[in-house]
Amino acid sequence: MKLAGKTLVWVVVIVLVLAASTAAKPGFGTISGIVLDPSGTPQMGATVWLLSEDAGGQPVSQLLSNQHGAFFTDRLKPGKYSLRVSLPGFLPAMEQHVSVLANLTTLLRVQVDSLFSSLDTLRRQSDAPAEPDDWKWVLRSSAATRTILQWREGDIEAANTVPVADFPRAQRARGLVQVTNGALQQGSSSNLSDSPATAVSYDQGLGAIGRLLLAGQMSYERGASGAFATVWLPSGVFGQGPETTFVMRQSTVGIRDLAFQEMRFDHSERIALGDRLALRAGAELLHVGITAHASALRPHAQLDADLAPGWTASFLVASSTADDVRAAHSDALQSALTELDSLPTVLFRDGRPVFEGRWHEETSIKHKLGERASIETAAFHDAARHQAIFGSGPASSPDFLQDTFSNTFLYDGGALNSWGARAAYSQKLSSNLELAALYSWAGALTPQGNLNTTAADLRDSFATRKHHSVGTRVSGKLPRTGTQFAASYMWVSGATLSRLDAFGEAAYQLDPNLHVSLRQPLPSFGPAGHWEVLADFGNLLAQGYMPVNGQDSRIMLVPVLRSFRGGVSFQF
């Protein structure tokens, strides 16, 4: 009995020690806060970076404030943290030495000031009385911090504090590798052939100064050609805040194997002008060198205005569809690869390189028809001094910029000036199926009579004429196999050598004639990574080709070349 009693005592002691050690084990803490402007209005879409001061400023998570201005993150190790808040149109805000305790929630109120309010604060002291510091009404994160939230009877509304849009770095893919043939889009004179190429993009976090997207492409066929692109996102969120882009391509082009070098530097800002206006503006600097050098500076801007619930008006001035093409890819890594093909088309005129340079001005109104559908109408004006025309065949004229690796070429079709109109409809039929329809009426370069290279100037055979176009696009995903597909067809009245509505077609991902795109996921090998097989068919039926007679041969002109791009993609 005495032995049994001693054993029972030791069992009780061991249980108490284990319970005490378990209770003493530190747990995780939570940070919950709200972002306000100087007037106290909650701000949606603010980017919040959380940095660990104990780890030397290492980024921990990255959040966006929701429609109530609230943000939330949990499972934080106890310690000291810093918060950096950025919002377009406001000055960055910083909260340092924020204490996080185990099993407790730290509440914060972060105010972002505009430039004007900051200057006004420096100019004069505020006459407003200080907030009452009463524990009956005020909740603090700790005794050493300032007031963070004031509770009032009947004035409290629960907010959804789940972070939206972007995710912490550990939850998004960091790299993408594509082994393909052909270009993502036709355009640059160095990017017409279907030679094999390997492209890589990488997403690198920069802590408090945002993110950097890196992309590169290399191909070997009768010599090396490659491209390099970087996109700096100071806000850390793709598609929001300022962006700085640099793209460079070097390759061999022309029948004389000319060394082609082209660079593009672009910076754009996104600014909120009150509650109803948003401005995206910037400029790009272009430079090209072949046998001679050419440079250009092109500004671009877009102003969006909320007229009423569900009604938005936009005013656009641009010279390139690069933003519309990149916006079609919601994935940052794929968007970085798209930047490799964002260089403007380079043509030859009188033995010198020139940029295509189509200036586009547009006014549009978009109306949402519920949560799944929308309709848009637009009026626009296009003007170009040098309109690019694609072609295929053995072209011998110096003005025909022949691709080294294929029989395709580019030709300067001359000036274009046209007004046009557009009507578009889009609807999400289900969670896996979307539909878009587009009608355009605008001008395009049109052949006049028989085309012949023996004429004094082939451009004299082109004239701007109005045409109609109707197109539709169906895209979706097959539930069982995971196959992503997109098929579009656009009909154009009459023969054309250039596109009617390049910006509208890019925004709704439509190409003239028949276009088919497929993405088939493959079984993954290992715990990480995602494999896909890619296949893109452009102008599948080879429609719109127009013959040009010559002394020695016959070439073909066409607004969109028939093309195929296929390969394998690996995301990790």
Per mean pLDDT, which range of 68-77, 115-124, 282-291, 434-443 is the poorest?
115-124
The verdict on residue 16 lying in a domain is no
Q: Which range has the top average pLDDT, 117-121, 376-380, 384-388, 394-398?
A: 376-380
Give the pLDDT band (50/70/90) at residue 459: confident
What is the predicted pLDDT for the residue at 219? 76
Q: Who contacts 321 (Cβ-Cβ below 8 Å, separation ≥6)?
A: 502, 503, 506
Q: What pLDDT shows up at residue 193?
A: 55
- What is the pLDDT, as a whole number, of residue 492? 94
Q: What mean pLDDT comes out for the span 221-240?
A: 79
Alpha helices (runs of H) in 25-165, residue ranges in sequence order: 115-123
Q: How far is CA 107 from the centre of its chain?
A: 33
189 and 146 in a single domain? The answer is no
Please tell me whether residues 281 and 177 are part of one structural domain.
Answer: yes
pLDDT for residue 185: 61
Residue 92: pLDDT above 60?
A: yes
Name residues whose C-beta falls within 8 Å of residue 308's C-beta, 6 or more positions apart in sequence: none
pLDDT at residue 128, as a whole number? 43
Query: Is 215 in the same domain as 124?
Result: no
pLDDT at 211 (0 to 100): 87
Q: Are 134 and 278 members of one domain?
A: no
Asked if residue 3 is part of any domain, the answer here is no
Mean pLDDT over 524-541 rounds to 81
Task: Supply the DSSP symbol for 550.
Answer: -
Asked if 144 and 176 sit in the same domain, the reply is no
Whole-angstrom distance, CA of residue 522 vs CA of residue 533 = 7
* 11 belongs to a structural domain: no
Question: Would the pLDDT of 205 be above 80?
Answer: yes
**Residues 44 and 126 grouped into a single domain:** yes
Average pLDDT, integer, range 322-341: 76
Could you give the percent of the chain with pLDDT greater than 70? 76
What CATH number is given to the structural domain containing 564?
2.40.160
Same domain, 62 and 197: no
Concatenating the DSSP letter of every residue in 365-411 gives: EEEEETTTEEEEEEEEEEEESS-EEEEES---STTEEE-TTSSEEEE
Pairing of strands 554-558, 79-86: unpaired
Q: Is residue 122 part of a domain?
A: yes
pLDDT at 62 over 90: no
Question: Among 50-64, 108-122, 155-169, 180-194, where is mean pLDDT lowest?
Answer: 155-169
The mean pLDDT value of the chain amounts to 78
Mean pLDDT to the nearest integer, 199-208? 87
Domain boundary among 96, 120, 150: 150
The model's pTM: 0.67
Tens-place pLDDT, residues 127-151? 444 444 333 333 333 333 333 343 3
pLDDT digits 0-9 by tens, 15-50: 443 444 444 445 788 898 999 988 788 888 889 989
pLDDT at 363: 97
- CATH code (residue 76): 2.60.40.10
Q: For the chain, what is the domain count?
A: 2
Q: Is there a domain that residue 165 lies in?
A: no
Q: Name the region of 23 (left: φ>0; alpha: ψ -120 to 50; beta: rest).
A: alpha
Q: Given a cut of 60, is residue 202 above it in pLDDT?
A: yes
Q: State whether 244 and 350 are in the same domain.
A: yes
- 18 part of a folded domain: no
Give me the mean pLDDT over the 554-568 stretch.
85
Q: How confident is the model at residue 191 (pLDDT cuts 50, 70, 90)?
A: low
| Residue 352 pLDDT exceeds 60 | yes
In a domain, 346, yes or no: yes
Residues 434 and 566 in one domain: yes
Does residue 115 belong to any structural domain of this protein? Answer: yes
Give me the pLDDT at residue 206, please: 85
Q: Which of 115, 150, 185 is the last residue of a domain?
A: 150
Q: Tokens for 464, please give them.
A: 């701007």
Mark whether 180 and 326 lie in a shared domain.
yes
What's the confidence (pLDDT) of residue 437? Answer: 97
pLDDT band at 169 (very low <50, low <70, confident <90, very high): very low
More confident residue, 561 or 244: 244
How confident is the model over 333-337, as a mean pLDDT?
A: 86
Which amino acid would we find at residue 372? R
Answer with the residue of higher pLDDT: 523 or 517: 517
pLDDT band at 93; cut points 50, 70, 90: confident
Distance CA 114, CA 97 (A): 24
What pLDDT is attached to residue 267? 93
Residue numbers of the domain that contains 426 = 172-571
Mean local confidence (pLDDT), 160-184: 59
DSSP state of 452: B
| Claim to verify: residue 119 and residue 232 sit in the same structural domain | no
Q: Are residues 146 and 206 in the same domain?
A: no
Rounded to whole angstroms, the Cα distance separating 41 from 68 reads 9
